[in-house]
Structures are given as structure tokens and as C-alpha cells.
Amino acid sequence: KNQVEQSPQSLIILEGKNCTLQCNYTVSPFSNLRWYKQDTGRGPVSLTIMTFSENTKSNGRYTATLDADTKQSSLHITASQLSDSASYICVVSQKGSTLGRLYFGRGTQLTVWP
């Protein structure tokens, strides 16, 4: 069964600290993995996208890693800011599938406190 599991479910950190969010997937065959940021009541916004051959990709203070052998990905946020408070969703695309058939994780709810 194609699934995407994220951990932790929720996380609270202090402003300025770093954190790492995890994503494990069983989607096969794998095409690519995306991390999205979703503010409360808003639509998700793409942070990174990685294909099978990429193992690290950065977008400002966000760095995503991918281990296609173990089917694991992580999103590392450095020097967190209050505006980083949001849900972070891991999305895996299956090779050969239509664009709309993406497998979404439930998200990690990150709260950054001052």
C-alpha cells in the first residue's frame, strides 16, 4: 500500500532554534518528493522538490534531504522564526501516475514560540 508517514505529529520549538521533520514513504515506483508549508486556513506552498538522484536541496533556511534507498526524507529548518509556525506536509509522487495523483502525509504541525 502506498503511504506517506510523517513524524513528529506536532513540534514546539523556541525562536532561533533548529528542528528536523521526518517523512517515510512506501510509494513505489518513486518519482519525486515535495515538501509543502501550509499556514492555517491557507493552501500549501511548495518549499522543495527532489527526484531520485537528488539527496539534498535547500531553499533559504529550509534544507531537505532524501535517501531513496531507505525511502526517508527530512526537512531541516535552521534559525527558526515565528513565521515558520505552520503545518509541513511531505508529498510523494508515483512514477507513471498522473500529476494529480500525489500521496500526502498528514503533516507536522510546527509551533515556534518567542
Partner 1 sequence: DAGVTQSPTHLIKTRGQQVTLRCSPISGHKSVSWYQQVLGQGPQFIFQYYEKEERGRGNFPDRFSARQFPNYSSELNVNALLLGDSALYLCASSRSYGRANETQYFGPGTRLLVL
Task: Give contact residues for partner 1 (rule: CB under 8 A).
Answer: 4, 31-32, 34, 36, 41-46, 49, 51, 89, 91, 93, 95, 97-102, 104-107
Angstrom distance (rounded) from CA 14 to CA 1: 37
Nearer to partner 1, 96 or 114 (CB): 96
Query: How far apart are CB 91 and partner 1 at their closest, in Å?
Result: 8
Angstrom distance (rounded) from CA 30 to CA 71: 9
Residues 6 or more apart whose Cβ sits within 8 Å of residue 59: 47, 48
Nearer to partner 1, 17 or 42 (CB): 42
Query: How far apart are CB 72 and partner 1 at their closest, in Å?
Result: 18
Pairing status of strand 72-77 against strand 86-94: unpaired
Nearer to partner 1, 65 or 108 (CB): 108
